[in-house]
Amino acid sequence: MRSPVGAALIVITYLAGVNVFLTPVQVRVWNYLNGIDVLMMLALVVPFIATRWVSPSNLRATRVAWYLTAVMALDIVFFAIMTFAPTGGHPSLESLVLIFTGLLKVLLVPAALLALGIAFTNGERISIITLGLICIVCETVYIVPIPNHPFQWLLLRYWLKGVV
């Protein structure tokens, strides 16, 4: 059994990742969403999803984190439809689904982080925890947010009123 300090480090790393990547990714999603973004999402999410079959874990907490991130990863399908569909998809329908999945992630992300923290303290491999953390950060920053989305409340800049 590992120290709970490591679980706290997972949350701190998550917050740092969100603070570094949320704003640049959101600018890109709103202005330049293309196939590179969909491929980037896949590259950041698929390794953790693949661990379910490549290197399965015996810990229930890791499996819970896997299922939660798999549900969150379904939004990549709608980003792909918007990007790769011959008609360009139906942007309002995909955007509506992406807004709802972005709001659902407000509940799923903390639960997945908690599950990863529990898995870490119970001795899960660092590589699995790292892949899960990367997946959760990716699922957090690649969203179509509404104004004043709760993920924006995680930004240091939000609390310092634009000083940073």
Domain ranges of the chain: 4-156
DSSP 146: P
Of 54, 29, 58, 52, the residue nearest 132 (C-alpha): 52
Give the pLDDT score at 105.
93
Structure tokens at 35: 């196939």
Structure tokens at 59: 């810990």
Q: How confident is the model at residue 110 (pLDDT cuts 50, 70, 90)?
A: very high
Question: What is the number of residues in the chain?
Answer: 164
Residue 43: exposed, middle, or buried by beta-carbon count in 10 A (0-12, 13-18, 19+)?
Answer: exposed
Q: In this model, does residue 63 exceed pLDDT 90?
A: yes
Half-sphere exposure of residue 97: CA atoms within 13 angstroms, side-chain side: 16
Contact 13, 133 (CB under 8 A): yes
Give the pLDDT score at 134.
97
Amino acid at 102: G
pLDDT (tens digit per residue) in 121-164: 999 999 999 999 999 999 999 988 777 788 888 888 777 775 54
Amino acid at 116: L
Give the pLDDT score at 85.
81
pLDDT mean over 104-133: 95
Q: Among positive and negative, which fits the CA dihedral 103, 107, 110, 116?
A: negative
Residue 16 CA: distances (Å) to CA of 10, 22, 77, 102, 133? 10, 10, 27, 19, 11
Mean pLDDT, all residues of the chain: 89
- Three-class DSSP category at 133: helix
pLDDT mean over 24-32: 88
Q: In this model, does residue 16 exceed pLDDT 80?
A: yes
pLDDT mean over 47-60: 93
pTM: 0.91
pLDDT (tens digit per residue) in 69-81: 999 999 999 899 8
Angle (CA) 106-142-156 rounded to 5° is: 65
Give the pLDDT score at 89.
60
Give the pLDDT score at 2.
78
